Each structure stands twice: as structure tokens, then as C-alpha cells.
Amino acid sequence: MSKDNFVEQIADIEADFPQWYTDVVLKTKLVDYGPVKGTMIIRPYGYAIWENIQRELDCRFKATGHENAYFPLLIPMSYFTKEAEHVEGFAPEVAVVTHAGGEELAEPLAIRPTSETIFGNMYSKWLQSYRDLPIKINQWANVMRWEKTTRPFLRTSEFLWQEGHTAHSNEQEAVDETLQMLEVYKEFAENVLAIPVICGRKTEKEKFAGAVATYGMEAMMKDGKSLQAGTSHYLGQNFSKAFDIKYLDKDGAQKLAYTTSWGVSTRLIGALIMAHGDQRGLVLPPKVAPLQVVIVPIAAKKGNVMEVCGQIQQTLQAAGIRVKLDDTDNSPGWKFNEWEMKGVPLRIELGPRDIEDGKALVFRRDTLEKCPVALDGIQTQIALLLEKVQKEMLEAARVRRDNKIVYAEDVDGILKGVEGGNFVKAGWCGCRECEDKIKAQTAATARVYAEGEIAEKCAVCGKAAKHLIIYARAY
Amino acid sequence: MSKDNFVEQIADIEADFPQWYTDVVLKTKLVDYGPVKGTMIIRPYGYAIWENIQRELDCRFKATGHENAYFPLLIPMSYFTKEAEHVEGFAPEVAVVTHAGGEELAEPLAIRPTSETIFGNMYSKWLQSYRDLPIKINQWANVMRWEKTTRPFLRTSEFLWQEGHTAHSNEQEAVDETLQMLEVYKEFAENVLAIPVICGRKTEKEKFAGAVATYGMEAMMKDGKSLQAGTSHYLGQNFSKAFDIKYLDKDGAQKLAYTTSWGVSTRLIGALIMAHGDQRGLVLPPKVAPLQVVIVPIAAKKGNVMEVCGQIQQTLQAAGIRVKLDDTDNSPGWKFNEWEMKGVPLRIELGPRDIEDGKALVFRRDTLEKCPVALDGIQTQIALLLEKVQKEMLEAARVRRDNKIVYAEDVDGILKGVEGGNFVKAGWCGCRECEDKIKAQTAATARVYAEGEIAEKCAVCGKAAKHLIIYARAY
């Protein structure tokens, strides 16, 4: 298969970004469609990315004092009605078990779309005294939300995620927890996924069903749309009231706890693809790439090429680098294309001439540059180069994004901005009517409250602005 | 709370083993009951054991060439009918989703009780040529089997497990895979869980629904009952025929693949509890213990006791040991009881006098012995002691078990044997009728075909024995 044929399999990223995305996720074998509408199989290459994401996040959660647990998949439907906003938000999306063990159930059971209600129920049982606080538990689990329109990783009826649920004795501590976890997500997104994110509070309209305040982390995709990559919710006493999460305080009084919840999901894999990918396919940051280096022998049958390739593989492996030696019968050109499509950060090309010269040619997937690296001490050079790629991918993404944040004075300006693939900052009076109008006229939504100087006027009604908002079309 | 009160909370292990089990799992906060009948919450202390189990198994799966993936929770009900034995075995236990997104579904969906059918469906799609074989995928997932009688970890409607599914070009390779994974489980059970296991083939009656042959790993609990701790199935071409798992071979012919599946679950936590526990509670082997060492200061407020305890904690932590310093206000006696109940392998006791003497007192949870250890270089001594505990727990369990394996000549002998809390080896003619009679008359089942010299006669009918069977009552 020639290089051209290979690349032609992927739709033009400029002309048809959605089709490009679908082509990339399927052809790189990240994912496949499940037999039930809206479900996906996360294939080994995609799941390896998720394992790397999990490992990196999990150690951050533990370092901030959280423990993992596992709560049941099935939740009595009646639990959802206990918190009024929550049921309104989630009931329409719930999948319901009505029969089990050959019998109809007395009460239908929901497959968890999120687990605030069942955590709330158990926290109410476990929490006795102020000494039991704070409770800081996370779980890695599958959840289900029945969506009409689905796309692999971005919106599927079942997805994998983590959900943290914490309970605290006072408001300040719960708010601090909410913001701390948002910060953990941000640091992770930037330093591990190499995706610069904008974090901030969400509007009332966009917040989580049942929260007092939702904070979101927004990432710009290459088409200028925003992807909500994580959220952290301050739930106040809403769920404590609904589930009776009370404790005996030092002063002998029964008090309601303050709770939080926060989560990220397999959507992050979609974010990785759309934040970094290019016409050749995936571009993966080294920290989450299943393979960090692929070795492609040139004229493999000549002299000691395979032998030296094998030595390099072992040296890199011993240095803790995830490396593969492609020893298949495919041509070097075919291999180049395949591993470029799969987004492997570095490719080492090695032929008889290179061995004579005591160096290998190293190709960087992110910049498409080639440079020679001495074989002597190659593991040190490759490790440094992986660090450099990781850092420069973030910087490049930051430049791309910062060049696409614009200001607008009115609705027309917002429309032009988002049509041009930008995030648009604009003033907002704070009323729901104006927020709804923006969405109706521009298909953009308020992503988060922006930091910085507030604009003078609301872009819709022209009244005095109370907030600066980042508007964008979103996944 | 006095020591006696504390211990009295746990039922007598000799007099009421089932209640002892329930007391231990609840009081040590391994688990709690979920609101839906038969479901459990795996609490942080229990989940930490599961994380250790996962880590140890996962690296063994990867070392034997398997990759992880994630397949959907929901399976079309029609898939189960494709393999006749399989549907018969699992249909009665399935939980069914009939409604989702506010509408009734066109086809009811099963929550996976196991995933052979959906793996089969996808393997059929992915498998094209002999070059694609073998396919060796594992998944870590939740599954659901609606059980009438449930007990935490041992039998719950939802549980966590791993299920490996592989496809091969020929029978030998598939059989080898089946036996290799059984061996992986055995090595893991013995070296990580410190549980000696007996592995062997299951009878037709006891095999997995849809398998050609099932191999099981049986562990003896302290009441002499057996717990099936893992299974590995050779599926032949049964699922390949049902799901059309075919490939184009080198010779240009379309051929059916040979498949396997194998799994272990959160049941293993139940095995740990019942294989090692005693009247004081849990006894955990160091390799899976969430905490390997607890430090209890004696006369904590005197001199530099807390300071030295803190230094020891840091030294052990730096040596990669999972350690906790119990600096709560509880009395040393209270702490001793709590951490003994929670099964922490080693306790370091340190008071002013010990510091003067330059040593600490170390208590072994498994043997209840105390010995002094020099503070100088304590991390090395503790690491060695943890290894010793790990090894001796296995040896002790092996001796306990081997003393409780007996031979029987007839049904009466089998009955007496299992009533005495033994595994019983006896001859079997190979017919289903005799197997059923044993179960009816002794409440014991054929666990596995035993290795060794075959008895002369079938214990039931007295005809010539074809096999030696290990009978036991089982969880």
C-alpha cells in the first residue's frame, strides 16, 4: 500500500473534521461500535491510553488523601426522586432494569448515570460523628446515559469514568475540595495530556443537576470547538438534605454535611485525538502514548541491522521507555505510515549506513522533524527527547488556542467568532434570557465564567455586564 | 473498650463460621450491603485489597502476552440464544434492561453475566486472516448474576472480575492457553494470596455452560469447605460456530477459530478471609494487605516516642513498605485489637524503654508471636520479616489443608469425611447418576479430577473407577 493510499483513507481534517475524527478512531483501532446503539468497545490500543490516564490520575487522587471504593451499578429508581433538580436532569437518560432472575422486579432499578444518590445513601449510614469527617472516596466505574446522538469517546450510552464523592463538616472545606480537584484535573490535563485548559465556574443553566456550583475544565479542539473535559461540583447541603447525611458535632448538635463530586471520563481520549491529531492521524503525548517509541529497521536483512535494533529496544525498555520493534515483513514506508497514524511520539529509523555512522535517525511525530541521535547512550537522548516532545506539544497547543480566543461586543460578533473556530469572550448581564438567545442565534453556549477585565455591556441586551463569559460551540 | 468486648463482637469461629465471616467482613469495613438485594459496596479497605490483587494479576496477564480492553455492559438478549448450553446456564440469572431514555426498547438487553457472546461477536468482525491470530484480550469489569442467596464477596448479584477471552488457530494452542492461565492463577494464589490450591478439570456436570472443558482452582477454607477461586475454560469451536469466528488460513481455506475464556473475581477476597482468618479477625498476607505494618506508640506523650515512631514510618515508607502510624488518642490495647482485627501483618510497638534499648517489639499477626528488632536498619529487618510471613502463611495453610484431605471407599465415608471438614478423594465410575447421588446424600460436589493413583472402585456403585475425584462441600 503506497503512502498516498494510506493517507487517503482518512478524511480531510480541514474539510470534514467529524469524518476525520471517525476515520481516525476506527482506523487506528482505538475503538469499535458495539452491537447496542451508542455503545463502544474500547480496543486494546485505546484502552492502553485509558490505563495510562488512570494511573496518572489515581496517584494524584491518593496524594490528595482520597481512597478508592466500589459502589453498586444498580440504584433504586426512588433514590433519584429525592433530590428534585437531580431527577429532572438525569431521569430522561436513565436505562432501567425491570426484570431479573426470570421475574419482574418490585421496584425498577436504574443503571447509574452518576452515583451521588447511592453514595449519599451510604454516607448517611456510615457518618456518625465529626470524627468520621471528611469522607473522601473515589470510584472507577462504568456509567450509562441514554443519548440520542452518540460518537465514540465523546458521547456514548455507556462510558468509563471516575467519580469522586466527598463529605465535609463545613462549607469552606467542601469548596476548597471542589477547587482543589479542579486544579488536580488542570495540572493533569496540561502536564500529562499536553492540553491547555480553561477552568472556571459554569452558569446556572450549564451546571450539574443538583449542584450549588459547577466548575468546568474546557479544552479547545482543532476545529475551535470546546470539549468539557472534566467537572467539579460543590453540592452544598442539597444531597445531605435529600439523603440525611448528618453527624453529631463536637457541640453535641446534629449537623448536615457539605458534599462535593467530581469526575472525568473516557471523553478525555476524544480530547487527546481532537486537540493534537493531524492529517496523518493521531499525535499522542509521550506520557499517555501506549508506545512511546517505534523502531523501524531499514534494509532489515542486511548485516546486523536487526541485531542492533534489538539491542536498542532492550536498552530503551530497561530505561522504562515503552518501545516496540516493528519486525514485520511490511516495507519501511508502510510502517512509517502505520505508526504515524497511530501517533507514536518517536520513530527510530536504523539501517546499515546508520550503524556504520554510529547514529540513528529519529522522527518526531508532533513536529514531523527528523534528527540524528548517536547510538551510544541513545536511551538518555530518547528520554530527553520524549520530555521535550511532551513539553512542546503543550506549548504548541497553547499557542494554537491563544490565537483563537477573541473578544466580541455583540451577538453578531459572537457568531462570527465561533464560525471562525474561536472561543469568544463577551460581556453578560447575568440573565438566562440573554444566555438562551446566544445559544439560539449562534449555536454557542456559555462555557465558563472567564477571568480578567469584565466587558462594559452584555453582548445581547446591552445592559451593564456583570460577568465575562467564554462562549464556544461545544462537543 | 476492653479487649474482651472487642473480640466478643465477632462470633465464635468454631461454633458459627458463617456468622464469624459476616461479622469480620462488616466490622473490618471491607464491605457493606447495598440497597438493592444482593449488591455490595466494596469499602476502601476491601477495595485496596482488590487493587493489590489487580496489580499482581494484571502484570502476569501482560507478561503472558495479553492486552486489556473494555467491552459493553449491555448485550442483546438474542446473543445468548446462539450457543445452546450457554443460554441454558445463564438465562435464569440475567438482569434485563427493557426501558431506556424514557422508551421501551425494541429488544431487551442483558446486563453481562459473562462476555463470551459479545467478545465472540466482535472477534468474528475483527478476525480476517491467520495473521490476526492469536487474539488475547482481557477485561476488568463488573458483571451481574441474579442469585437467590447472596453473601458479600462469595456470591453477590454484581461482582467485579477479570475475564480473558482468546482465539487461536488450532486446538493445541487453545488448550495450552487454557492450562497456562490456570497455572498463572495457581502461582498467583500461592505466592500472592498464600493460599495453596488444587487445580484440575471439572466434571461435565460442573463445567461452564458452553465449554468443552473447564479447569478449576479449588481452595480449602478453614471450615473445610472448598471455594472455587478461579476457572479456565477451553471452549473448542462452540462459540466460534455460534458467532462465526472464522479466518482465512494460509492454505486459502476459511477455518473456525478455537477459543478460551478464564476469570477470577472479588470472590478471591472471600477466599483470603476464610483461608487465613482467626478468632481475632482478618489475617492478611503481606503482598495484598492494604497496610503491611502499623506502628503503635506506647506512652506516646513521653520523651521522643512520637518523633522516633515518625522516623520509623518514613524509613519504612521509603523502603516501599505500606505503613501507618496510629497516632490517634485510643489506648495501645484498643489499637492492638483494631489492627489485629483488620489483619495487618506486622505491628511495631515502641515505647520510651524500647528507644533506650535501641529496639522495637514486633508482633506477627499470623503466628501471634512477638520478637524484638533493632531500630538500626529496621527497614531491612521488617522487609525480610514480611517475606517470611508471606512464605510461612502459605506453608501453614498447606499443612492445614494437607491434614484435611482423606480417602473414602464409599458414600458413607465421603459423608463422614466432609462432615469432618475434609476434602475427600474417592473413585468414580464416570457416570452422572453416581455424581448426583453423592450430592444428594452428602451435600458434597465433585470439585476436580484429582491427580494420583486411581481408586479401584466407584464409591457409589462399586463398579470399576475411571477417575479419582476430590469431593467437598463448597461455597
Residue A309: alpha-carbon gap to chain centroid = 35
Could you tell me which residues come within 8 angstroms of residue A365 by beta carbon, excluding any fewer than 6 positions away? A283, A284, A340, A343, A344, A345, A346, A347, A389
Scan residues 395-454 of B and list those with Cβ closer than 8 Å to A. Answer: none
Tell which residue, A437, A445, A424, has the closest CA to residue A463: A437
Residue A148 with chain B: CB contacts under 8 Å? 101
The angle that helices A267-276 and A17-27 make with each other, rounded to 10 degrees, is: 120
Could you tell me which residues come within 8 angstroms of residue A396 by beta carbon, excluding any fewer than 6 positions away? A366
Among B26, B41, B87, B103, pick the best mutation site for testing chain A contact (most A Cβ within 10 A). Answer: B41
Among A59, A96, A144, A291, pick the best mutation site for testing chain B contact (most B Cβ within 10 A). Answer: A96
Indicate yes or no: CB of A43 within 8 angstroms of CB of B69. Answer: yes
Residue B32 with chain A: CB contacts under 8 Å? 122, 125-126
Residue B158 with chain A: CB contacts under 8 Å? 72-74
Residue B95 with chain A: CB contacts under 8 Å? 74, 97, 99-101, 109
Tell which residue, B236, B235, B240, B243, has the closest CA to residue B256: B240
Note whether A127 and A252 are within 8 A (CB). Answer: no
Indicate yes or no: CB of B158 within 8 angstroms of CB of A72. Answer: yes
Name the strand (E) or helix (H) holding B84: helix B84-90
Comparing alpha-carbon positions, the chain A residue that sits nearest to B158 is A72
In angstroms, what separates the C-alpha of B171 from chain A's closest C-alpha?
Answer: 25
Q: Name the residue with cell 527528523.
A: A370
Indicate yes or no: CB of B48 within 8 angstroms of CB of A42. Answer: no
From the list B69, B97, B108, which residue is nearest A44 (CB)? Answer: B69
In angstroms, what separates the C-alpha of A54 from chain B's closest C-alpha?
Answer: 13
Mean pLDDT in order along chain A per 10 residues (475 residues): 58 97 98 95 98 98 98 95 86 94 94 97 97 98 94 97 98 98 98 98 95 98 98 98 97 98 98 98 98 95 93 98 96 96 98 96 98 97 98 98 97 97 97 97 97 87 96 97
Q: How far apart are CA A173 and CA B296, in angstroms?
A: 30
Could you tell me which residues come within 8 angstroms of residue A48 by beta carbon, excluding any fewer than 6 positions away? A290, B67, B68
Scan residues 152-211 of B and list those with Cβ closer than 8 Å to A. Answer: 157-158, 160
Scan residues 77-116 of B and list those with Cβ closer than 8 Å to A. Answer: 79, 91-102, 108-109, 111
Query: Per-residue confidence of chain B (475 residues) as pLDDT tens digits?
Result: 444 455 568 999 999 999 999 999 999 999 999 999 899 999 999 999 999 999 999 999 999 999 999 999 999 999 988 988 888 888 889 999 999 999 999 999 999 999 999 999 999 999 999 999 999 999 999 999 999 899 999 999 999 999 999 999 999 999 999 999 999 999 999 999 999 999 999 999 999 999 999 999 999 999 999 999 999 999 999 999 999 999 999 999 999 999 999 999 999 999 999 999 999 999 999 999 999 999 999 988 888 999 999 999 999 999 999 999 999 999 999 999 999 999 999 999 999 999 999 999 999 999 999 999 999 999 999 999 999 999 999 999 999 999 999 999 999 999 999 999 999 999 999 999 999 999 999 999 999 999 877 788 999 999 999 999 999 999 9
Q: Does A59 touch chain B (CB under 8 A)?
A: no
Note whether B115 and B139 are within 8 A (CB). Answer: yes
pLDDT, position B4: 47
Residue B72 with chain A: CB contacts under 8 Å? 34-36, 39-41, 158
Note whether A343 and A289 are within 8 A (CB). Answer: yes
Measured from the Cβ of residue A73, the count of other Cβ atoms closer than 10 Å reads 27
Q: Does B471 touch chain A (CB under 8 A)?
A: no
Q: How many helices (H) and strands (E) does chain A have?
A: 15, 23
Comparing alpha-carbon positions, the chain B residue that sits nearest to A156 is B72
In angstroms, what separates the C-alpha of A426 from chain B's closest C-alpha?
Answer: 36
State pTM to two decimals. 0.96
Note whether A218 and A448 are within 8 A (CB). Answer: yes
Could you tell me which residues come within 8 angstroms of residue A296 by beta carbon, excluding any fewer than 6 positions away? A326, A332, A335, A336, A339, A347, A348, A349, A350
Q: Looking at residue A112, what DSSP letter applies?
A: P
Calculate the CA dihedral of residues B151, B155, B161, B166 and round it to 10 degrees.
Answer: 170
Name the strand (E) or helix (H) holding B95: strand B95-100
Q: How far apart are CA B202 and CA B186, in angstroms?
A: 16
